[in-house]
Amino acid sequence: EDQVTQSPEALRLQEGESSSLNCSYTVSGLRGLFWYRQDPGKGPEFLFTLYSAGEEKEKERLKATLTKKESFLHITAPKPEDSATYLCAANAGGTSYGKLTFGQGTILTVHP
Amino acid sequence: EPEVTQTPSHQVTQMGQEVILRCVPISNHLYFYWYRQILGQKVEFLVSFYNNEISEKSEIFDDQFSVERPDGSNFTLKIRSTKLEDSAMYFCASSPDRVYEKLFFGSGTQLSVL
- Cα A111 to Cα A44: distance, rounded to the nearest angstrom: 22
Q: For the residues A96-111, what does the mean pLDDT come to? A: 91
Interface test with A, best of B103, B107, B109, B110 (most A CBs within 10 A): B103
What b/e sequence results for A54-71 when a residue is b if at least 16 CB atoms lie within 10 Å of its CB, and e otherwise? Answer: eeeeeeeebbbbbeeebb
Å between A91 CA and nearest CA of chain B: 9
Asked if the model's pLDDT at residue B98 lies above 80, the reply is: no
- Cα A18 to Cα A47: distance, rounded to the nearest angstrom: 18
CA trace torsion A50, B3, A45, A41 (10° rounding): -160
- Cα B109 to Cα B98: distance, rounded to the nearest angstrom: 25
pLDDT per residue over A39-81, tens digit each? 988 899 999 999 999 999 999 999 999 999 999 999 999 999 9
Q: Does B45 touch chain A (CB under 8 A)?
A: yes
- Cα A111 to Cα A9: distance, rounded to the nearest angstrom: 17
